[in-house]
Amino acid sequence: MKIKALDVEKLITERLLLIPYTINICEEILNNDYTSLISMGLKTSQNWPDEDVLETLPRIINNLESVEEQTGFESWMIVKKETLEVIGDLGFKGFNFEENNADIGYGIIKEERRKGYAEEAVKELINWAFLNRFLKEITAKCLIGNVNSINLLTKFNFLRIKTDHEMIYWTLKNENFVHKKKITER
C-alpha cells in the first residue's frame, strides 16, 4: 500500500490557508532566513516562529525526509488569508501503515489563540485526510490541563482512549467525523 503524493498546493478555509512545509522552508526558518516564505507572498507574524515551532521543525524535517514525495500526512503552516501571516502549524507525524492511522498535532501562536483558527484548520485537515481511503483513524494527544485542546478534540467527536499522569490520548474514526460536503457545480 502506498499513499499517493500530495496533489494540492494548499488547503483553503474561510479565513485560512494551509500550506505544506518543505524541507527547504524548515531549514531556512531554523537559519532565521525567510526567503522562501517571502517569495510565496507570506509574512512572519510578530511572534512566529515561536519556541514551539523552532523545537518542532527538526521533527518535521525528519518526517519529510522519510517519504519519497510529500503526501500531506506531514506538517502544514497555518496562514491568515487576510494578512498572509503565518500564525501556527498543524499536521501529522506521518502515516502509520500498520494501523492505517495518523497522529495529528497543532499549535497557534499565543496572540492568535481563542479566535477559532485551530478549530478551522483542524477541521479542514481532518476532512482532507479522511478523503484518503486507507486512513481508518486519526489519533491525538494533549496535556491533561489543556482545556482548549480537550474541548476542540471533543467537538470533533474524538474519543478518549486512555489517560496517564500527563497526557490524554484520543482517537477519531472516519465514520465518526462529520465531513464537509463538497458541492460541485454543473
Assign 152 to helix, strand or coil. helix
**181 pLDDT above the threshold of 70:** no
What residue type is assigned to position 156 of the chain?
Answer: F
168 bridge partner residues: 142, 163
**33 pLDDT above the threshold of 60:** yes
Spatial separation of the C-alpha atoms in residues 6 and 134, rounded to whole Å = 15
Q: pLDDT confidence of 97, banded at 50, 70, 90?
A: confident
Closest CA to 67 of 113, 13, 21: 21
**pLDDT, average across residues 100-116:** 92
Q: Which residues, at least 6 apart from 132, have a Cβ–Cβ distance to it below 8 Å?
A: 3
**CB contact at 8 A, 90 and 153:** no
- pTM for the complete prediction? 0.89
- Grid cell 494551509 is found at 18
Judged by average pLDDT, the poorest of 45-54, 147-156, 174-183 is: 174-183
Q: pLDDT confidence of 178, banded at 50, 70, 90?
A: low
> Interior CA angle at 131 toward 128 and 134, to 5°?
125
Spatial separation of the C-alpha atoms in residues 45 and 84, rounded to whole Å = 9
Spatial separation of the C-alpha atoms in residues 180 and 134, rounded to whole Å = 19
> What digits encode the pLDDT tens for the residues 3-15?
667 777 899 999 9
Assign 116 to helix, strand or coil. coil
**pLDDT, average across residues 149-178:** 91
- Grid cell 482532507 is found at 128
